[in-house]
Amino acid sequence: MAGTPSHPSNDFAELEPAVLAPGHTFASVTDKISAIVLTRPASRGWWFGLVVSFSLVMVLLTTITYLLVVGVGVWGINIPIAWGFAIVNFVWWIGIGHAGTLISAILLLLHQEWRTSINRFAEAMTLFAVACAGVFPLLHMGRPWFFYWLLPYPNTMKLWPQFRSPLVWDCFAVSTYFTVSLLFWYVGLIPDMATLRDNSRSRFGRIAYGFLAMGWRGSARHWRRYEVAYLIMAGLATPLVVSVHTVVSFDFCVANMPGWHTTIFPPYFVAGAIYSGFAMVLVLAIPLRYFYGLKDFITDQHLQNMAKVMLATCMIVGYGYGLEAFMSWYSDNPYEEYVIHNRMTGAYAWSYWLLILCNVAIPQILWSKRARSYVPLLFCVALVVLVGMWLERFVIVVTSLQRDFLPSSWGMYSPTFWDWSMFLGTIGLFFCLLFLFLRLLPAISMSEMRELVEEVEGPEAHAH
Partner 1 sequence: MKDCHSKSNVGSAPEQIGKRHWRALEELAGSPQFQELLEREFPRHASEWSDPVTRRKFLMLMGASFALAGISGCSPQAPIGEILPYAKQPEQMVPGKALQFATASTLGGYATGILVKSHEGRPTKIEGNPGHPASLGATDAFSQAEILGLYDPDRSQAVTYRGQPRSWSDAQIEFRKSLQALRANQGRGLAILTQTITSPTLADQLAGDTSRFKHDFPAAQWIQYESAHSNNRHDGARLAFGELVDTLYDFSSAEIVVALDADFMGLGPAHLRYTREFMAKRRAAGTVGGPAMNRLYVAESCPTVTGAAADHRVPMRAADVLQFALALAGELKLPNVQPVGAQYQRWVAAIAKDLNAHRGASLVIAGDSQPPIVHAIAHALNDALGNVGHTVKYIAPVEANPRDQFADLKTLVDDMSAGRVEMLVILGGNPVYDAPTDLDFATQLQHVPRRVHLGLYQDETAEKCDWHLPQAHFLEAWGDARAFDGTVSIQQPLIAPLYNGLSAIEVLSALFEPAGSPGYEIVQSYWRRNWSQATGAGDFESGWKRTLHDGVIAGSAAQPRTGLSVSTNWESASSPPTSAHGALELVFHADPTVYDGRFANNGWLQELPKPITKLTWDNAVLISPSLAEALHITQTVGINGGEHGQGITSLVELESGDRKLRAAAWIVPGHADDSVTLHLGYGRTAAGQTGNGAGFNANELRTAAAPWFAPDVKIRKLDESYTLACTQVHHSMEGRDPVHAFTYDEFAKDSQVLANSLSEEHREYQSQLVPGASIQEKKSAEADPRMEPLTLYPGYDYSAPKNKWGMAIDLSSCTGCNGCVVACQAENNIPVVGKTEVTRGREMHWLRIDRYYEGHTENPTTYFQPVPCMHCENAPCELVCPVGATVHSADGLNDMVYNRCVGTRYCSNNCPYKVRRFNFLEYTDFHTESLKLGRNPNVTVRSRGVMEKCTYCVQRIRGAQIDSEVSGKPMVDGDVVTACQAACPAQAIIFGDMNDPNSRVSKMKAEPLNYGLLAELNTRPRTTYLAALRNPNPELAD
Residues that bind partner 1 (CB under 8 A): 70-74, 76-83, 140-144, 146-147, 149-150, 159-162, 164-168, 171, 251, 254-257, 334-335, 338, 347, 401-402, 404-414
Interacting residues of 33 by C-beta distance below 8 A, sequence separation 6+: 294, 297, 442, 443, 444, 446, 449
Q: How far is the CB of 57 from partner 1 (least distance, A)?
A: 25
Q: How far is the CB of 84 from partner 1 (least distance, A)?
A: 10
Q: How far is the CB of 80 from partner 1 (least distance, A)?
A: 5
- CA–CA gap between residue 251 and residue 165 (Å, rounded): 8
302's enclosing H/E stretch is: helix 300-330
* 122-153: burial string, b at 16+ Cβ within 10 Å, e else: bbbbbbbbbbbbbbbbbbbbeeeeeeebbeee
Q: How far is the CB of 143 from partner 1 (least distance, A)?
A: 4
- CA–CA gap between residue 384 and residue 387 (Å, rounded): 5
DSSP state of 105: I
> Which amino acid is residue 422, in one-letter code?
M
Q: How far is the CB of 59 from partner 1 (least distance, A)?
A: 21
Neighbours of 15 (CB within 10 A): 9
Q: How far apart are the first and last CA of the chain?
A: 14
Q: Which is nearer to partner 1, 152 or 293 (CB)?
A: 152
Q: Which is nearer to partner 1, 87 or 106 (CB)?
A: 87
- CA–CA gap between residue 127 and residue 436 (Å, rounded): 13
Is the bond leading into 80 cis (omega within 30 degrees of zero)? yes
Q: How far is the CB of 400 from partner 1 (least distance, A)?
A: 9
Q: How far is the CB of 243 from partner 1 (least distance, A)?
A: 18
Q: Which is nearer to partner 1, 368 or 414 (CB)?
A: 414
Q: Which is nearer to partner 1, 68 or 232 (CB)?
A: 68
Structure-derived torsion over alpha carbons of residues 102, 104, 107, 111, reported in degrees to the nearest 10: -170
**Stated length of the chain:** 464
117's enclosing H/E stretch is: helix 116-139
Q: Which is nearer to partner 1, 137 or 188 (CB)?
A: 137
Q: Which is nearer to partner 1, 115 or 140 (CB)?
A: 140
Q: In angstroms, how far is CA 5 from the centroid of its own chain? A: 30
Q: Which is nearer to partner 1, 48 or 160 (CB)?
A: 160
Q: Which is nearer to partner 1, 81 or 105 (CB)?
A: 81
- CA–CA gap between residue 301 and residue 303 (Å, rounded): 5
Q: Which of 59, 13, 10, 94 is nearest to 389 (CA)?
A: 94
Q: How far is the CB of 338 from partner 1 (least distance, A)?
A: 7
Q: How far is the CB of 368 from partner 1 (least distance, A)?
A: 39
Q: Which is nearer to partner 1, 80 or 95 (CB)?
A: 80
